[in-house]
Structure 1
């Protein structure tokens, strides 16, 4: 089965349309098309690399280009997309982030300072391991830019994490062929779990902050002791 036929066999919907587009792009400009698709996936996290990368592996298996080319250009695409997000974070900067935090009802400027301090200490690990977590694998580049992580360090951790992630899924496409979408279904479950966890954490944060603010307000209105 060719890559085009495999794409046609995927479930109908936006994912199938995306896969068709990636396959067409790879058919026109080879592995560079896969790299471009992955760069866009970094900029738009809803685009699933779990669907794009196996198609690159399947195309390599079909002889459309070499396996090493698929790995090389998708990793370059990951780095380019991450650098663009890093640039957005660097442009936004800590001062703007503090200003925004000061305007938000349940966020304090001190929260930004603590987060920045944590990221300056553990940012390398966050960037590297963040490349293995759906959605966060893209968004983690923004705080790295905000704190101005040294560009060489950011590029090193991003490239290392992306190389491992991309190689794994490209090899899935290489070995499984048209059955690659089986793995993608499992990754959908993982992505949904990540979304649920994020929503739960945000809800917990809001509840804690609302309770703390109400307690402070109650103390503020208590009459002074006689």
Structure 2
């Protein structure tokens, strides 16, 4: 993966960074933790400008959020509520749970998008609830851009500082993303068990 990323940037330059960061948001197995530090290392060698690297990374990241945003927008809250009321019992999920989640996102969505864009593992997926809750496009783009810029600057700066050891960034951030996903999975299981028990008590 590292060789492919480096080869694409060597052949396409800034456009390669842009395309890779778009793909990273659509296909998470292509990690920004590898793309941006590699670009930062290229800037340290004098092959690229660090500021332009960060700008291209930010632009690609923001563009990459749009497909899932529009998927969420097309699916919509009402369709999800109908689906949950019809089939959600198998997941202990009800339509009113969807509405509660949507209300929460309406209140905290901008902060969730801003900080979520800097969390490996969920940074791409946040576009779905943003679309489902019909967050205004302008708001979504602004907070996505700020979060993406901070994340791109952090990773590119680390690659610039580490030089030839830029791949250490992915070595540290990669396990962290797995821990975050693991914690989210545990939280989902705990929520499932709690809801199941509530349903059982309600039926007694």
The answer to whether TM tops 0.5 is: yes
Mapped partners of 1:25, 1:176: distance in 2: 21
- Look up the match of 1:20: 3
Does residue 45 (structure 1) correspond to residue 28 (structure 2)? The answer is: yes
Correspondence for 1:92 among 58, 61, 75: 75
> Which residue of structure 2 lines up, in the alignment, with residue 192 of structure 1?
178
Contact in 2 for aligned 1:46/1:135 (Cα 8 Å): no
Residue matched to 1:157: 143
**Structure-1 residue corresponding to 2:63:** 80
Structure number with bigger Rg: 1
Where 2:166 maps in the other structure, the secondary structure is helix
Alignment-derived partner of residue 223 in structure 1: none
Aligned Cα RMSD in Å? Answer: 1.2
Paired with 1:85 and 1:115, the residues of 2 have a C-alpha distance of 18
Distance of 1:83 and 1:39 partners within structure 2: 9
Number of matched pairs: 201
Indicate yes or no: 2:194 matched with 1:211.
Answer: no
Deviations 1:91-139 (A, max 9, x none): 1111221122221221010011001111111110000010111121111
TM normalised by structure 1 equals 0.85
3-state SS, counterpart of residue 138 of structure 1: coil
Structure 1 distance, partners of 2:16, 2:83, is 38
Q: Is the 8 A contact 1:57 1:173 kept in 2?
A: yes
Give CA-to-partner distance per residue, 1:44-95, whole Å, 9 cap, x none: 2232211111001111222222112211111110010112221111111112
- Correspondent of 2:169 among 179, 183, 186: 183
The structural deviation recorded for 1:204 is 0.3
Q: TM-score, normalised by structure 2?
A: 0.94
Match of 2:19 in 1: 36
Higher relative contact order by CA 8 Å / sep ≥ 6: 1 or 2? 2
1:112 alignment partner in structure 2:
98
How far apart, in 1, do the equivalents of 2:200 and 2:189 lie? 17
Runs of 5+ consecutive residues of structure 2 not aligned to the other structure: none
**Distance apart, 1:216 and its partner CA:** 2.2
